[in-house]
Amino acid sequence: MRELRQDRGWTIEEASERYGVEPAHVRRIEAGRTNPSLATLLSIADAFSTDLADLFTPIKAKKDRNL
C-alpha cells in the first residue's frame, strides 16, 4: 500500500483522511506491524478506486499485466 500511496503522491496524513483512519494506523499498516480490519481494507481499496484483491497483488505483477 505504501507504493500505491507514494505513486499517487499522498502523504501519510492525506492517506489517513482518505482511508478514514489515524495517521499512526496508516504507518503501522504500511510497516506490517498491524493487520487492518476488513472495513479498513475496503476503505483503502475505495480510496485507491480499486478492487480489494488488487491490494494483495504485487505492484510488479500489475505493471507486467499492463505491458
The answer for residues whose C-beta is within 8 angstroms of residue 67's C-beta and 6 or more apart is none
pTM: 0.81
Q: How confident is the model at residue 59 (pLDDT cuts 50, 70, 90)?
A: low
When pLDDT is averaged across residues 14-20 and rounded to a whole number, the result is 98
pLDDT at site 1 = 87
Lookup: cell for 14: 492525506
The answer for residues whose C-beta is within 8 angstroms of residue 15's C-beta and 6 or more apart is 5, 23, 26, 47
When pLDDT is averaged across residues 10-34 and rounded to a whole number, the result is 97
Terminal alpha carbon distance of the chain:
21
Helix (H, G, I), strand (E, B) or coil at 47: helix
Domains of the chain: 2-65 (1.10.260.40)
